[in-house]
Amino acid sequence: MAKLTIEDLDLAGKRVLMRVDFNVPVENGKITDDTRIKAALPSIQYVLKKGGKLILMSHLGRPDGKRDPALTLSPVAERLSNLLGEKVTKMQDCIDENVKKTVKRMKRGDIVVLENLRFHPEEEANDPAFAKELAGLGDVYISDAFGTVHRAHASTAGICKYLPSAMGFLVAKEVEFLGKVLKNPDRPLVAIMGGAKIKDKIPVTLNLLNLANVVIVGGAMSYTFLKAQGKAVGASLVDDKNLGKAKEIMDAAAAKKVEFLLPVDHVVAPELKEGVKTQVVKDIPDGMKGFDIGPETIQLYSAKIASAKTVVWNGPMGVFEQKEFEAGTKAIAEAMAASKALTVVGGGDSAAAVEQFGLAEKMSHVSTGGGASLEFLEGKELPGIAALTDK
Protein backbone atom coordinates (compact mmCIF):
# COMPACT_ATOMS: atom_id res chain seq x y z
CA MET A 1 0.00 0.00 0.00
CA ALA A 2 1.43 3.40 -0.95
CA LYS A 3 2.12 5.70 2.00
CA LEU A 4 1.71 9.45 2.37
CA THR A 5 4.86 11.48 1.70
CA ILE A 6 5.96 14.80 3.14
CA GLU A 7 4.57 16.57 0.05
CA ASP A 8 1.06 15.24 0.75
CA LEU A 9 0.84 17.12 4.06
CA ASP A 10 -0.08 20.74 4.72
CA LEU A 11 2.74 21.89 7.02
CA ALA A 12 2.09 25.64 7.26
CA GLY A 13 1.94 26.69 10.91
CA LYS A 14 1.98 23.02 12.01
CA ARG A 15 4.24 21.49 14.63
CA VAL A 16 6.09 18.90 12.56
CA LEU A 17 7.56 16.06 14.58
CA MET A 18 10.30 14.44 12.48
CA ARG A 19 12.19 11.25 13.29
CA VAL A 20 15.68 11.57 11.83
CA ASP A 21 18.76 9.36 11.99
CA PHE A 22 21.36 11.48 13.75
CA ASN A 23 23.17 8.40 15.05
CA VAL A 24 26.56 9.77 13.98
CA PRO A 25 30.07 8.92 15.21
CA VAL A 26 31.14 11.31 18.00
CA GLU A 27 34.63 11.35 19.51
CA ASN A 28 35.40 13.60 22.49
CA GLY A 29 32.27 15.63 21.81
CA LYS A 30 33.20 16.16 18.13
CA ILE A 31 31.30 14.67 15.17
CA THR A 32 33.69 12.74 12.91
CA ASP A 33 31.21 12.09 10.06
CA ASP A 34 28.08 14.17 9.44
CA THR A 35 26.77 12.24 6.39
CA ARG A 36 23.55 11.28 8.19
CA ILE A 37 22.82 14.85 9.27
CA LYS A 38 23.29 16.05 5.68
CA ALA A 39 21.02 13.26 4.43
CA ALA A 40 18.13 14.72 6.49
CA LEU A 41 18.57 18.28 5.19
CA PRO A 42 16.17 18.08 2.20
CA SER A 43 13.22 17.16 4.46
CA ILE A 44 14.28 19.67 7.13
CA GLN A 45 14.58 22.51 4.62
CA TYR A 46 11.25 21.60 3.01
CA VAL A 47 9.42 21.85 6.37
CA LEU A 48 11.03 25.24 7.08
CA LYS A 49 10.21 26.52 3.58
CA LYS A 50 6.57 25.48 4.04
CA GLY A 51 6.30 27.42 7.31
CA GLY A 52 6.33 24.46 9.69
CA LYS A 53 7.58 24.45 13.29
CA LEU A 54 10.14 21.68 13.30
CA ILE A 55 10.75 19.28 16.21
CA LEU A 56 13.53 16.78 15.49
CA MET A 57 14.03 13.53 17.38
CA SER A 58 16.73 10.88 17.11
CA HIS A 59 18.70 8.33 19.05
CA LEU A 60 22.50 8.23 19.40
CA GLY A 61 24.39 5.08 20.32
CA ARG A 62 23.14 2.55 22.87
CA PRO A 63 22.60 4.20 26.25
CA ASP A 64 20.32 1.29 27.31
CA GLY A 65 17.54 3.49 28.64
CA LYS A 66 19.80 5.54 30.89
CA ARG A 67 21.10 9.09 30.64
CA ASP A 68 24.67 9.06 29.28
CA PRO A 69 26.37 12.47 28.86
CA ALA A 70 28.70 10.98 26.20
CA LEU A 71 25.64 10.24 24.04
CA THR A 72 23.92 13.63 24.18
CA LEU A 73 22.62 15.11 20.91
CA SER A 74 24.12 18.54 21.74
CA PRO A 75 27.03 18.25 19.24
CA VAL A 76 24.49 17.20 16.60
CA ALA A 77 22.26 20.24 17.25
CA GLU A 78 25.34 22.47 16.96
CA ARG A 79 26.42 20.89 13.64
CA LEU A 80 22.88 21.14 12.28
CA SER A 81 22.76 24.82 13.21
CA ASN A 82 26.03 25.40 11.29
CA LEU A 83 24.82 23.46 8.23
CA LEU A 84 21.51 25.36 8.09
CA GLY A 85 22.82 28.74 9.19
CA GLU A 86 19.79 28.85 11.53
CA LYS A 87 19.31 28.89 15.29
CA VAL A 88 18.58 25.43 16.70
CA THR A 89 17.19 24.99 20.23
CA LYS A 90 18.49 21.85 21.93
CA MET A 91 16.38 20.38 24.76
CA GLN A 92 17.67 18.50 27.83
CA ASP A 93 14.99 15.81 27.52
CA CYS A 94 12.38 14.64 25.02
CA ILE A 95 9.10 14.71 26.99
CA ASP A 96 9.51 16.82 30.15
CA GLU A 97 7.51 19.96 31.05
CA ASN A 98 10.20 22.25 29.67
CA VAL A 99 9.95 20.53 26.26
CA LYS A 100 6.16 20.91 26.26
CA LYS A 101 6.39 24.62 27.15
CA THR A 102 9.08 25.28 24.53
CA VAL A 103 7.12 23.50 21.81
CA LYS A 104 3.95 25.46 22.67
CA ARG A 105 5.80 28.75 22.16
CA MET A 106 7.34 27.80 18.80
CA LYS A 107 6.87 30.07 15.79
CA ARG A 108 7.00 29.18 12.09
CA GLY A 109 10.56 28.31 11.05
CA ASP A 110 11.70 27.47 14.60
CA ILE A 111 13.81 24.32 15.06
CA VAL A 112 13.97 22.25 18.23
CA VAL A 113 16.13 19.14 18.73
CA LEU A 114 14.95 16.77 21.49
CA GLU A 115 17.46 14.89 23.64
CA ASN A 116 18.45 11.29 22.81
CA LEU A 117 15.24 9.20 22.73
CA ARG A 118 17.04 6.13 24.03
CA PHE A 119 17.73 7.80 27.38
CA HIS A 120 14.21 6.47 28.03
CA PRO A 121 13.82 2.64 28.10
CA GLU A 122 10.25 3.13 26.82
CA GLU A 123 11.59 4.15 23.38
CA GLU A 124 12.99 0.73 22.42
CA ALA A 125 10.15 -1.03 24.26
CA ASN A 126 7.68 0.78 21.95
CA ASP A 127 5.76 1.84 25.06
CA PRO A 128 2.32 3.25 24.02
CA ALA A 129 2.24 5.91 26.79
CA PHE A 130 5.69 7.19 25.76
CA ALA A 131 4.71 7.18 22.07
CA LYS A 132 1.56 9.15 22.98
CA GLU A 133 3.60 11.72 24.94
CA LEU A 134 5.94 12.21 21.98
CA ALA A 135 2.95 12.49 19.63
CA GLY A 136 1.48 15.18 21.90
CA LEU A 137 4.34 17.49 20.86
CA GLY A 138 3.32 17.58 17.20
CA ASP A 139 0.43 17.98 14.77
CA VAL A 140 1.94 15.71 12.11
CA TYR A 141 4.71 13.10 12.04
CA ILE A 142 7.40 12.60 9.38
CA SER A 143 9.54 9.46 9.26
CA ASP A 144 12.94 10.25 7.74
CA ALA A 145 15.23 7.82 9.57
CA PHE A 146 15.48 4.87 7.19
CA GLY A 147 18.20 3.26 9.32
CA THR A 148 15.62 2.65 12.08
CA VAL A 149 12.41 1.73 10.23
CA HIS A 150 13.06 -2.00 10.68
CA ARG A 151 12.66 -1.48 14.44
CA ALA A 152 9.22 -1.16 16.04
CA HIS A 153 10.14 1.59 18.51
CA ALA A 154 7.96 4.31 20.06
CA SER A 155 9.37 7.02 17.75
CA THR A 156 9.27 4.91 14.58
CA ALA A 157 6.05 2.88 14.79
CA GLY A 158 4.12 3.53 18.03
CA ILE A 159 3.80 7.26 17.39
CA CYS A 160 1.92 6.70 14.09
CA LYS A 161 -1.21 5.61 15.97
CA TYR A 162 -1.69 9.16 17.22
CA LEU A 163 -0.76 11.45 14.32
CA PRO A 164 -1.15 11.74 10.55
CA SER A 165 2.21 10.33 9.42
CA ALA A 166 4.23 10.40 6.21
CA MET A 167 7.61 9.52 4.71
CA GLY A 168 10.27 12.21 4.44
CA PHE A 169 12.31 12.55 1.22
CA LEU A 170 15.08 10.22 2.44
CA VAL A 171 12.75 7.35 3.39
CA ALA A 172 10.66 7.83 0.22
CA LYS A 173 13.82 7.60 -1.93
CA GLU A 174 14.95 4.42 -0.14
CA VAL A 175 11.55 2.79 -0.62
CA GLU A 176 11.51 3.82 -4.29
CA PHE A 177 14.97 2.48 -5.19
CA LEU A 178 14.92 -0.69 -3.09
CA GLY A 179 11.37 -1.24 -4.36
CA LYS A 180 12.65 -1.07 -7.96
CA VAL A 181 14.91 -4.05 -7.22
CA LEU A 182 12.03 -6.08 -5.75
CA LYS A 183 9.20 -5.16 -8.11
CA ASN A 184 9.67 -5.96 -11.82
CA PRO A 185 13.30 -4.79 -12.18
CA ASP A 186 14.98 -4.34 -15.57
CA ARG A 187 16.85 -7.54 -16.40
CA PRO A 188 19.33 -9.08 -16.15
CA LEU A 189 19.41 -8.38 -12.39
CA VAL A 190 22.78 -9.05 -10.77
CA ALA A 191 22.83 -9.37 -6.96
CA ILE A 192 26.24 -9.08 -5.28
CA MET A 193 26.56 -10.48 -1.78
CA GLY A 194 29.63 -10.10 0.39
CA GLY A 195 30.79 -9.42 3.92
CA ALA A 196 31.86 -11.71 6.69
CA LYS A 197 28.79 -13.31 8.24
CA ILE A 198 26.88 -15.75 6.07
CA LYS A 199 24.15 -16.20 8.71
CA ASP A 200 23.12 -12.52 8.40
CA LYS A 201 22.84 -12.90 4.63
CA ILE A 202 21.00 -16.24 4.34
CA PRO A 203 17.43 -14.80 4.28
CA VAL A 204 18.28 -12.01 1.83
CA THR A 205 20.23 -14.37 -0.46
CA LEU A 206 17.30 -16.81 -0.52
CA ASN A 207 14.88 -14.00 -1.37
CA LEU A 208 17.20 -12.63 -4.09
CA LEU A 209 17.23 -16.08 -5.74
CA ASN A 210 13.57 -15.39 -6.61
CA LEU A 211 14.53 -12.11 -8.27
CA ALA A 212 18.07 -12.26 -9.60
CA ASN A 213 19.40 -13.72 -12.84
CA VAL A 214 22.94 -13.81 -11.42
CA VAL A 215 24.12 -13.95 -7.80
CA ILE A 216 27.77 -13.04 -7.19
CA VAL A 217 29.37 -13.94 -3.86
CA GLY A 218 32.56 -12.52 -2.33
CA GLY A 219 33.98 -11.63 1.05
CA ALA A 220 34.50 -14.05 3.92
CA MET A 221 31.05 -15.59 3.41
CA SER A 222 32.30 -17.10 0.12
CA TYR A 223 34.62 -19.52 1.98
CA THR A 224 31.62 -21.19 3.64
CA PHE A 225 30.09 -21.82 0.19
CA LEU A 226 33.42 -23.03 -1.22
CA LYS A 227 33.96 -25.40 1.70
CA ALA A 228 30.41 -26.72 1.21
CA GLN A 229 31.49 -27.56 -2.38
CA GLY A 230 34.50 -29.44 -1.03
CA LYS A 231 37.06 -26.82 -2.12
CA ALA A 232 40.25 -26.04 -0.20
CA VAL A 233 39.85 -22.89 1.90
CA GLY A 234 42.92 -23.17 4.17
CA ALA A 235 42.49 -21.31 7.45
CA SER A 236 39.92 -18.83 6.02
CA LEU A 237 36.90 -17.80 8.06
CA VAL A 238 34.22 -20.48 7.68
CA ASP A 239 30.84 -20.75 9.40
CA ASP A 240 30.75 -24.53 9.89
CA LYS A 241 27.28 -24.35 11.47
CA ASN A 242 25.88 -23.05 8.19
CA LEU A 243 27.57 -25.35 5.66
CA GLY A 244 24.26 -27.16 5.16
CA LYS A 245 22.48 -23.84 4.59
CA ALA A 246 25.13 -22.82 2.04
CA LYS A 247 24.57 -26.07 0.12
CA GLU A 248 20.79 -25.50 0.29
CA ILE A 249 21.23 -22.02 -1.22
CA MET A 250 23.39 -23.37 -4.07
CA ASP A 251 20.87 -26.16 -4.77
CA ALA A 252 18.02 -23.62 -4.78
CA ALA A 253 19.98 -21.44 -7.25
CA ALA A 254 20.48 -24.43 -9.56
CA ALA A 255 16.79 -25.37 -9.32
CA LYS A 256 15.75 -21.80 -10.16
CA LYS A 257 18.35 -21.59 -12.95
CA VAL A 258 20.04 -18.63 -11.28
CA GLU A 259 23.74 -18.30 -12.12
CA PHE A 260 25.54 -18.54 -8.76
CA LEU A 261 29.15 -17.34 -8.92
CA LEU A 262 31.85 -17.92 -6.34
CA PRO A 263 35.47 -16.66 -6.42
CA VAL A 264 37.83 -18.64 -8.68
CA ASP A 265 40.99 -17.11 -7.19
CA HIS A 266 41.89 -15.38 -3.94
CA VAL A 267 44.32 -12.94 -2.40
CA VAL A 268 45.68 -14.75 0.65
CA ALA A 269 48.03 -14.10 3.57
CA PRO A 270 48.92 -15.93 6.78
CA GLU A 271 47.32 -13.16 8.89
CA LEU A 272 45.63 -9.81 8.69
CA LYS A 273 48.16 -7.05 9.36
CA GLU A 274 49.59 -3.98 7.66
CA GLY A 275 52.34 -4.75 5.12
CA VAL A 276 51.73 -8.51 5.23
CA LYS A 277 53.10 -10.50 2.27
CA THR A 278 50.20 -11.62 0.02
CA GLN A 279 49.85 -14.08 -2.84
CA VAL A 280 47.19 -14.98 -5.39
CA VAL A 281 46.04 -18.62 -5.40
CA LYS A 282 43.25 -20.80 -6.84
CA ASP A 283 43.16 -23.27 -3.95
CA ILE A 284 43.91 -21.80 -0.54
CA PRO A 285 46.77 -23.75 1.10
CA ASP A 286 46.77 -24.80 4.76
CA GLY A 287 47.71 -22.01 7.13
CA MET A 288 46.67 -19.32 4.64
CA LYS A 289 43.54 -17.16 4.85
CA GLY A 290 41.60 -15.54 2.04
CA PHE A 291 41.13 -11.78 2.48
CA ASP A 292 40.01 -10.65 -0.99
CA ILE A 293 38.89 -11.94 -4.38
CA GLY A 294 41.67 -12.43 -6.95
CA PRO A 295 42.22 -10.78 -10.39
CA GLU A 296 40.47 -13.55 -12.41
CA THR A 297 37.40 -13.30 -10.17
CA ILE A 298 37.46 -9.51 -10.57
CA GLN A 299 37.37 -9.91 -14.36
CA LEU A 300 34.56 -12.46 -14.22
CA TYR A 301 32.44 -10.38 -11.81
CA SER A 302 33.06 -7.08 -13.63
CA ALA A 303 31.90 -8.62 -16.93
CA LYS A 304 28.65 -9.77 -15.29
CA ILE A 305 28.06 -6.27 -13.90
CA ALA A 306 28.77 -4.72 -17.31
CA SER A 307 25.99 -6.79 -18.91
CA ALA A 308 23.41 -6.10 -16.16
CA LYS A 309 20.40 -3.78 -16.28
CA THR A 310 19.94 -3.75 -12.47
CA VAL A 311 22.67 -4.31 -9.86
CA VAL A 312 22.13 -4.53 -6.11
CA TRP A 313 25.18 -4.83 -3.84
CA ASN A 314 25.39 -5.73 -0.17
CA GLY A 315 28.71 -6.48 1.50
CA PRO A 316 32.37 -5.99 0.50
CA MET A 317 34.51 -8.50 -1.44
CA GLY A 318 37.36 -8.43 1.08
CA VAL A 319 38.98 -6.46 3.88
CA PHE A 320 38.85 -3.23 1.85
CA GLU A 321 39.89 -1.12 4.85
CA GLN A 322 43.42 -2.48 4.34
CA LYS A 323 45.37 -1.47 1.19
CA GLU A 324 46.54 -5.04 0.44
CA PHE A 325 42.95 -6.33 0.26
CA GLU A 326 40.97 -3.44 -1.25
CA ALA A 327 41.27 -4.33 -4.95
CA GLY A 328 38.23 -6.61 -5.16
CA THR A 329 35.79 -4.28 -3.46
CA LYS A 330 37.17 -1.29 -5.36
CA ALA A 331 36.83 -3.10 -8.72
CA ILE A 332 33.18 -4.00 -8.00
CA ALA A 333 32.47 -0.36 -7.09
CA GLU A 334 34.21 0.82 -10.28
CA ALA A 335 32.32 -1.67 -12.46
CA MET A 336 29.04 -0.45 -10.97
CA ALA A 337 30.05 3.19 -11.38
CA ALA A 338 30.83 2.59 -15.08
CA SER A 339 27.60 0.66 -15.66
CA LYS A 340 24.48 2.10 -17.29
CA ALA A 341 22.34 -0.14 -15.07
CA LEU A 342 20.25 0.92 -12.08
CA THR A 343 22.83 0.51 -9.29
CA VAL A 344 21.71 0.18 -5.68
CA VAL A 345 24.21 -0.12 -2.81
CA GLY A 346 22.63 -1.55 0.33
CA GLY A 347 24.07 0.44 3.21
CA GLY A 348 26.58 -0.67 5.83
CA ASP A 349 30.11 -1.58 4.74
CA SER A 350 29.32 -1.37 1.01
CA ALA A 351 28.17 2.22 1.48
CA ALA A 352 31.36 2.96 3.42
CA ALA A 353 33.40 1.41 0.59
CA VAL A 354 31.86 3.48 -2.23
CA GLU A 355 32.39 6.57 -0.07
CA GLN A 356 36.03 5.60 0.56
CA PHE A 357 36.68 5.14 -3.18
CA GLY A 358 34.90 8.39 -4.07
CA LEU A 359 32.27 6.59 -6.17
CA ALA A 360 29.08 7.18 -4.16
CA GLU A 361 27.91 9.92 -6.54
CA LYS A 362 28.16 7.51 -9.49
CA MET A 363 25.60 5.06 -8.03
CA SER A 364 21.86 5.38 -8.68
CA HIS A 365 21.27 4.99 -4.94
CA VAL A 366 23.34 4.36 -1.81
CA SER A 367 21.18 3.23 1.08
CA THR A 368 21.59 4.89 4.48
CA GLY A 369 20.35 1.86 6.42
CA GLY A 370 22.35 -1.37 6.57
CA GLY A 371 19.94 -3.51 8.60
CA ALA A 372 16.84 -1.84 7.19
CA SER A 373 17.93 -2.30 3.57
CA LEU A 374 18.76 -5.98 4.21
CA GLU A 375 15.34 -6.62 5.74
CA PHE A 376 13.65 -4.73 2.89
CA LEU A 377 15.49 -6.91 0.33
CA GLU A 378 14.51 -10.00 2.33
CA GLY A 379 10.94 -9.00 1.49
CA LYS A 380 10.07 -8.33 5.13
CA GLU A 381 7.53 -5.72 6.19
CA LEU A 382 9.32 -2.85 7.95
CA PRO A 383 7.29 -1.75 11.00
CA GLY A 384 8.31 1.91 10.71
CA ILE A 385 6.92 2.06 7.16
CA ALA A 386 3.90 -0.21 7.64
CA ALA A 387 2.67 2.09 10.46
CA LEU A 388 2.60 5.25 8.30
CA THR A 389 -0.68 6.68 6.96
CA ASP A 390 -1.83 5.10 3.69
CA LYS A 391 -2.29 7.38 0.69
Active-site amino acid positions: 36, 197, 348, 371
CB contact at 8 A, 99 and 93: yes
- Alpha-carbon distance 273 to 270, whole Å? 9
- Alpha-carbon distance 213 to 222, whole Å? 19
CB contact at 8 A, 331 and 358: no
CB neighbours of 135 closer than 8 A, spacing ≥ 6?
17, 141, 159, 161, 162, 163
Between strands 111-113 and 89-90, the pairing is parallel
Closest C-alpha among 227, 167, 138, 170 to residue 42? 170
- Alpha-carbon distance 304 to 320, whole Å? 21
- Alpha-carbon distance 197 to 217, whole Å? 12
CB contact at 8 A, 24 and 34: yes
Q: Where are the alpha helices (DSSP H) in 112-164?
A: 121-124, 128-135
- Going through the chain in order, the beta strands assigned E by DSSP cover 15-20, 26-27, 30-31, 53-57, 89-90, 111-113, 140-144, 165-167, 189-193, 214-217, 259-261, 266-269, 279-281, 289-293, 310-314, 342-345, 365-366
- Alpha-carbon distance 159 to 131, whole Å? 5
